[in-house]
Structures are given as structure tokens and as C-alpha cells.
Copies of this chain bind each other. A is one copy, B any other.
Amino acid sequence: MKKTIFVFSALIISLLLLFKLSSYAYLSGDISKEIVIGVIAIVFFVIGIYINKKSLKKEKTNFIDYKKIEELGISKREYEVLVQISKGLSNKEIADALFVSESTIKTHVSNLLVKLDSKRRTQAIQKAKSLQILSI
């Protein structure tokens, strides 16, 4: 919100500056109209690109749908396991990373597969990403 106000302020200021520039240009008469128009065009062209880039960055940031996670009944620990699975770790490796036994991880994985309606961990990864509960 603050950024939007800043950007629009900058826009108005640059517009006013251009009005002034054009006035001086016509008064002195040594700057052709074409140059003034060219400058205006370039300035607003750049402003257009800048604003667009800023707004697109927010869209691009694939944020995680925490509501969906809750909706599916995936617990905190289960989600941690899911993240590790998506990194390509084995059950044993996940167990070591989370300081629990492999049995525990197997239980978590089994529950995850049911909750994500999947038959394999690879399928679970796919589904989780399509549901936006894992960053792509």
C-alpha cells in the first residue's frame, strides 16, 4: 500500500516536471518538439516496465496455502516429513534429520499418503505441489 502511494506520487511529479520541461523548451525554442516527446515517451515507457515488474513479483512468489494444509488435516510433524520427502530423502534420512526412528517416519508417511490421496511418495509430492502446500 505504501509502495503504491509512493509510485503514484512519483508518477505525478514526473508528469509535472515534464509539463515544466515542455514549457521551457517552447519558450527557449532551441529544443525541438520531437525531443520533448521522445523524452516523455521513454520516461513513461520505463515507468510502465518498472511498475509491472513490481506487481508481477508479488504474483510470482508462490506462497504456501496453509488453509489447505489444515483442511486436509495434515499435522505439523507430518508436514515436516512431507517437506523432507519432496527434497528426495529416504525414510531413514528423514528419521535422522528429525531425530526420530524410521518407524515414526513410516507412520507419518502412511498418514500423509491417505490424506493426500496418493499411493506413492512421488505422487504425494506432485499432489502437494498442485495443491500449493509445497513450494514449486
- The size class of the interface chain A forms with chain B is 35 or more
Query: Which parts of A83-133 form the interface with B (CB within 8 Å)?
Result: 85-90, 118-127
Give chain A's interface secondary structure class. Answer: helix
Residues of B with C-beta under 8 A to A15: 37-38, 41
Closest CB in chain B relative to A24 CB, distance in Å: 12
CB <8 Å contact, B85 and A122:
yes
Interface: A46 (CB within 8 A): yes
Q: Which residues of B contact A38 (CB under 8 A)?
A: 15
Residues of B contacting A18 with CB < 8 Å? 37, 41
Min Cβ gap A25→B in Å is 10
On chain B, the residues within 8 Å of A41 by CB distance are 15, 18, 40, 43-44
Chain B residue numbers with a CB within 8 Å of A37 are 15, 18-19, 22, 40
- Nearest Cβ in chain B — how far from A76, in angstroms? 22
Interchain CB contact under 8 A, A119 and B90: yes
* A-B contacts besides A88-B122, A88-B127, A125-B125, 11 pairs, CB < 8 Å: A19-B33, A40-B44, A44-B44, A49-B52, A53-B56, A60-B60, A86-B122, A88-B123, A88-B124, A89-B123, A122-B122
